[in-house]
Structure 1
Amino acid sequence: MTVSLEQLRRCHFAVDLGAARTRVFVKGAGLVVDQPSVAAVNTRTGGLIAVGEFAEQMTGRTPSYIRVVRPVSGGTVVDIEMAQRMLRQLIGDKTRRALRRNLRLRAAACTPHDADPLATRATIETLVGLGARRVELVDTLIAAAVGCGLPVERPEATMIMVCGAAATQVAVLSLGSIVTAVRLPVGGEAVDHAIVQHLRHEHALVLPSQSVRPLQVALRGNGLTPHGPASAEIHGRDVVTGLPRSVRVNTAAVREAIQTPLTSVLDGIGRVLRDCPPDLVADLADRGIMMVGGSALLPGFDQMLRQATGMPVHIAERPELCAAEGLGAMLEGRIEPLLLNPLAA
């Protein structure tokens, strides 16, 4: 981590390419982009029509010649050219001109834990296409831990859980490095999909694409815990007739429907703890788990983890921005490098 910090301080901007949102941090300017990772394309001309929030609003509402695409999936760039075009528009001409004044433009980017070489290469090529001469990669777990203020450089255990849209990453950190970690292909989208399938099978109701965050509606209040509301009204489209229809959904049944993806998260936490040295596990009994990422805000998710693990569970102040803020702190030199010098004989 020492060498990486020295190299990161030379970077001029940082990018957190997430499955749901893209965030760009520019040294000296702060967070300049926080938009959905979505682009709308005219299939007749190949021109880019919209990016970010406006493109996301078009989802499911476009004529046949307009296609809404997501160039990033699961934190991995799946369409390099479209990702570059999307980033250019999100950053804007003024900021891009300012960045280009640096003859040796350097960039930093978050990468998921244990990302394969092809995914890493795609991220590098995306930023090189924006003019970066050199790209430094930082594990999302380290960046998020720094962003939420965890003392990752100390010789003590800190446990972090990055709850993304497409994946959940769990790790134990100590001395500025990852001791043990696991990446699970389960995120907020899997929870949404489980609820959508439940409503389709049990109530013959199809939710519109813009309402596929039904936890905000169906699980208000205490959310995933049994203390939440007994029922909730949801609007959608009837599977048979295609007409709009409203149904009152039993939230207890909804909670049961999402247990499968959430159980996978609990299994991942157990796996990390089993692989962790006993001394570090003892530290975690008091410090608990820090949750970051957009899906950490699922109502009642932290209470469910607290009950299942018996450990304290905390949610970062702005969990969705932790990775980008952590990269920014490294770029601006707000993190002191950990120096492990050999002792003189």
Structure 2
Amino acid sequence: MTVSLEQLQRCHVAVDLGAARTRVFVKGLGLVVDEPSCAAVNTRTGALIAVGAFAEQMTGRTPDYIRVVRPVSGGTVVDIEMAQRMLRQLLGDKLRRQLRRKPRLRAAACTPHDADPLAQRAAVETLVGIGARRVELVDTLIAAAVGCGLPVEQPSATMIMVCGAATTQIAVLSLGAIVTAERIPVGGNAIDHAVITHLRQAHELMLPSQSVRPLQLALSDGGIAAGGPASTEIHGRDVATGLARSVLVDTAAVRHAIHTPLTAVVDGIGKILRSCPPDLVADLGDCGIMMVGGSALLPGLDQMLRDATGMPVQIAERPDVCAVLGLGAMLEGRIKPLNLDPITN
């Protein structure tokens, strides 16, 4: 953890700026914002037209002078000014007035593991732009582990896997710190892209970008695990003619297309285990892997990891909001650190 729990308890707001969704936790109020990290801008005037879910619905449906942007990519703010404007609108006038009453507003933010100084600076500047006088940065892996109830402060190993839209982060934690971690550039977006590419190449079919979730259509209740019907009907647009068309897709071929990017995640878990001390690996054989993040809800992903690693795999109760809830628990003082003060004679 980059800051102490005492410093975090002085903070008033916790923000999780994700590539897919932005979440804000206010001390005393709980989770107040959970919206897509999306903004629609009028390129002629520079005016902000919409943010959040409404802006996401505009994707692929706007005229030339309206542009839908995502100011956060892979957990890193890539457009500070737009991220500030988006956050202000998501918070709303009433909540911003409440926060402005605090003379020295402190904020905490999640940052990806091994984020470079520029990425950390971008997160700080974004929160300074909404009125924060001081910003504390916490590793997303620590915050997510706290949010899903893992005993991170104990001298035993716990493995957390944060499945985001753009990246997957895996870490082994012990005594409130990261023992070893890996960040893999494969997430929910890569899985969706693999399905869309397969349908385009094999069936010359294009899927709508927002109106249809490719995974929900292409996969049945069995998810990426074996089982379920052998074929699924998919509706989309013909690449050649541009007309609407339906095709019968072999679900086994779709599963094979999805497994290709997911092999990098399995390799990352193996790399983590090889770099861990043997005692911690023995602990992991009992407690297994805890999956959090929006992409952890991909049907069959947990079973695939069980088969590949031979370890127990669990999905958190609310995997999509674990990181911001963990930050909120630290802000409200619900996490007690293990006392490791020096022994005096």
TM range (shorter): over 0.9
Aligned to 1:293: 293
Matched, 1:208 2:212: no
The alignment's TM-score, normalised by the length of structure 2, stands at 0.99
SS of corresponding position for 1:131: coil
Q: Specify whether residues 5 and 220 from structure 1 end up closer, same or farther in structure 2 by C-alpha distance, changes over 3 A only.
A: same
1:155 to 1:69, Cα distance in 2 relative to 1, 3 A: same
What does 1:234-245 correspond to in 2, within 5 Å?
234-245=234-245
Q: Who is 1:258 aligned against?
A: 258
Report the CA distance shift for 1:3/1:294 in structure 2 as closer, same or farther (over 3 A).
closer
Q: Deviations over 1:302-325 (max 9, x none)?
A: 000011111000000010010010
CA apart distance, 1:213: 2.8
Q: Over residues 281-330 of structure 1, what are the superposed CA-to-partner deviations in whole Å (9 max), with x where a residue is unaligned?
A: 00010100000000000010000001111100000001001001000000
Query: Whole-Å Cα distance in 2 between the matches of residues 53 and 280 of structure 1?
Result: 42
- Contact map agreement 2:2 2:137 (CA 8 A) in 1: no
Letter in 2 for 1:283: D
Deviation track 1:133-177 (CA, whole Å, cap 9, x = no partner) reads 000000000000000000000000000000000000000000000
Q: Which residue of structure 2 aligns with residue 106 of structure 1?
A: 106
**1:165 aligned partner, one-letter code:** A
What SS does structure 2 have at the residue aligned with 1:50? Answer: strand
Q: CA RMSD in A?
A: 1.0
CA shift, 1:212, in A, is: 5.8
Which runs of at least 4 in structure 1 moved beyond 6 Å after TM superposition? none
SS of residue paired to 2:285: helix
Does the aligned pair in 2 maintain the 1:2–1:339 contact within 8 Å?
no
| Runs of 5+ unmatched residues, structure 1 | none
Post-superposition CA distance 1:15-43 (Å, at most 9, x none)? 00000000000000000000000000011
**Deviation digits for residues 221-241 of structure 1 (CA, Å, limit 9, x no counterpart):** 111111132111111110000
Match of 1:315 in 2: 315
Amino acid of the structure 1 residue aligned with 2:268: G
Q: 2:73 aligned with 1:73, yes or no? A: yes
Matched residue type, 1:89? Q
Q: Secondary structure at the match of 2:110?
A: strand
CA–CA distance in structure 1, aligned partners of residues 3 and 89 of structure 2 = 33
Q: State whether residues 216 and 299 of structure 1, in contact with CA within 8 Å, keep that contact through their aligned partners in structure 2.
A: no
How many Å apart are 1:259 and its aligned residue? 1.6
Q: How many residues align?
A: 345
Query: 60-69 vs 1-10, which deviates more?
Result: 1-10
Q: Is 1:233 matched with 2:227?
A: no
Cα distance per residue 1:91-124 (max 9 Å; x no partner): 0010011011111100000000000111110000
Indicate the SS of the match to 1:258: helix
Match of 1:97 in 2: 97
* Match of residue 21 from structure 1: 21
1:305 paired to 2:305: yes
Partner residue, 2:339:
339
Q: Which amino acid aligns with 1:322?
A: C
1:48 maps to 48
8 A contact 1:196–1:212 mirrored in 2: no
TM-score by length of 1: 0.99
Instruction: Name the CA distance, whole Å, in 1 between partners of 2:248 and 2:210.
Output: 19
For 1:95 and 1:107, how far apart are their aligned partners in 2?
Answer: 14
1:165/1:295 contact within 8 Å kept:
yes
* Segment drifting more, 212-221 vs 39-48: 212-221
Which residue identity lines up with residue 20 of structure 2 in the other structure?
A
Question: For structure 1, which segment, 224-233 or 5-14, has the greater mean C-alpha deviation from structure 2 after superposition?
Answer: 224-233
Question: What's 2:217 paired with?
Answer: 217
SS in 1 for 2:210: helix
| Identity level (%) | 80
Could you tell me which residue of structure 2 aligns to residue 88 of structure 1?
Answer: 88
Shift of 1:4: 1.7
Amino acid at match of 1:176: G
TM-aligned CA deviation for residue 218 of structure 1 = 1.4
CA distances 1:56-108 after superposition (whole Å, capped 9, x unpaired): 00000011111000000010000000000000000001001101111110000
Distance 1:324 1:63 in 2: 35
Query: In the alignment, which residue of structure 1 is the partner of 2:130?
Result: 130
- Structure 2 letter corresponding to 1:61: R
CA distance in 1, matches of 2:54, 2:8: 33
Query: What runs of 5+ residues in structure 2 fail to find an aligned partner?
Result: none
SS of 1:249's partner is strand
How far, CA to CA, are the matches of 1:146 and 1:253 in structure 2?
Answer: 38
CA distance in 2, matches of 1:42, 1:223: 39
Q: Say whether residues 1:185 and 2:146 are aligned partners.
A: no
